[in-house]
Structure 1
Amino acid sequence: MSPVTVVVVLVVVVAVAGVAFLVGRARSQPAPPPPKPDPTPRDPFGDITESSGDPTSLKAGDMLEFGAERSWVRGSLRLAEGGSVWAEHFLEVDEGRRWLSVEEDPDVRMALWTGRPELDLTPHSKTLELDGVRYRLTERGTASYRSEGTTGLRAKGGMDYADYEGPDGRLLSFERFDHGKWEPSVGTALTPGSFTIYPGG
């Protein structure tokens, strides 16, 4: 047998022995234990929404659940004034007018509003009294809007607003769309997690 052949045979023998050693070592080591099952109960439909959802992503067709009460977003207004943007989402109600406002400033601020068309009231003063509650003017301005879904407004336009605050998170607001008349509404500030969002697709 030539020296070259001897070297080749030795290399093959050493390689086979090394592979056999590694395989035997791997087999001798115990297998890792299987993962323990998670005892926490899980909602099988939990992937359709987060625990409360993202209010900044609301759109027409989404469902909101306020405890035992459910409502659907019929349409939305996307509003902008300078570098500020916010949204108003109109909700399905049997009668009247109700909506949710959402603004990032920089934290998310939300309020649930109810229209009060019967009021003969305009934002003519820095303080106003309504139903025994005194409100003070906090902000007023002019913004542009873009309409989505059912809002009762044009696709695009402009609006004026005046916002008042009272005690215990009570709110009073006036809006005037496309140079129309002032529309008063009362509202209540909401905290994140006050409702659950179910996306409409």
Structure 2
Amino acid sequence: MSVTSMVVLGLSIATVLLLLGAFWATLRQDRKGRDSAPPAEVAAIEPPLAAPVSVHAHAGADYTDPRTIRVGDRIEVHGSPARVLGAMHISWQGQQWVEYLLRDANRRLQWLSVEVRAGEPPHLEVQLWTDVPTEGMVPAKSMLIMEGMEFFPIDRGTVAFRSEGDTGNPDRGLLDFADYRAADGRLLSFERIQGRSWTASYAQPLPPGSIAIVRRAS
């Protein structure tokens, strides 16, 4: 074979190799482009909302407005009679609410908290608190277990209070609190009048219409 023929053959082979390389590069680029193409847009999955801890409602004409409760009133909670022995007017970081001390027909004592929560529009949060034996427990800054249930901290601080009627507390003072919530929405609160021991209670949210004022204090 002549030198000229060998050169032509070599150039032909080189051309074929270049064409194959270009084709292979194009194929890889096309596959890469398909692999890296953004996926079709889908609706964002929002995290699940926290379990409800209260019933939000306006106090309208169809329901007794619990903000009108006064010390000495006789009321009904879910149809069960109770007397309002006293009240604690509480203030914390610009928020204000009232906690009423109730004594039911079995002479059991419970606290009823009534608070207007901010929102658009504002709403009432009414909760009935039942004592929990603490057996010397103190509120932790992390998760704690009460009666086999895990509770996680949500808020803590110190509030100022003013007492009215018979509450068993000073006329004025400071109260430390630590609030917790379980996965099922149950609320647990530790409270301590400064200088005293911690107490704890569970909250039961009350829906509209749960409270009726039977007789006003004279």
**TM-score, with structure 1 as normaliser:** 0.68
Distance, in Å, in 1 between the alignment partners of 2:161 and 2:127 is 18
SS across alignment from 1:163: strand
| 1:62 corresponds to which of 63, 73, 83 | 73
Partner amino acid for 1:52? Y
1:44-193 alignment runs, 5 A limit: 51-93=62-104, 94-106=106-118, 107-193=123-209
Contact 2:66 2:211 in 1 (8 A): no
Cα RMSD, aligned residues only:
1.9
Q: How far off is 1:56 after superposition? A: 1.6
Distance, in Å, in 2 between the alignment partners of 1:95 and 1:68 is 16
Deviates most, 87-96 or 172-181: 87-96
Deviation string 1:16-51 (CA, Å, 9 cap, x unpaired) is xxxxxxxxxxxxxxxxxxxxxxxxxxxxxxxxxx64
Contact 1:158 1:177 in 2 (8 A): yes
Give the 3 Å change call, closer, same or farther, for CA 103–84 of structure 1 in structure 2: same
Give the 3 Å change call, closer, same or farther, for CA 175–147 of structure 1 in structure 2: same
Distance, in Å, in 2 between the alignment partners of 1:67 and 1:109 is 16
Deviation string 1:101-157 (CA, Å, 9 cap, x unpaired) is 111112111111112245332111322221222211111111110000100011111
SS across alignment from 1:92: strand
Percent identity for Structure 1 against Structure 2: 35
Partner amino acid for 1:113? W
Gaps of 5+ in 2: 1-60
Partner amino acid for 2:117? D
Deviation string 1:152-177 (CA, Å, 9 cap, x unpaired) is 01111110111112244421101110
Distance, in Å, in 2 between the alignment partners of 1:109 and 1:124 is 26
Partner amino acid for 2:99? E
Give the 3 Å change call, closer, same or farther, for CA 160–118 of structure 1 in structure 2: closer
Contact 1:96 1:115 in 2 (8 A): no
Give the 3 Å change call, closer, same or farther, for CA 125–82 of structure 1 in structure 2: closer
Which aligned segments of 4 or more residues in structure 1 are displaced greater than 3 angstroms? 93-97
Gaps of 5+ in 1: 1-49
SS across alignment from 1:120: coil
User: Between Structure 1 and Structure 2, whose CA radius of gyration is higher?
Assistant: 2
Partner amino acid for 1:54? D
How many pairs does the alignment contain? Answer: 152
**TM-score, with structure 2 as normaliser:** 0.63
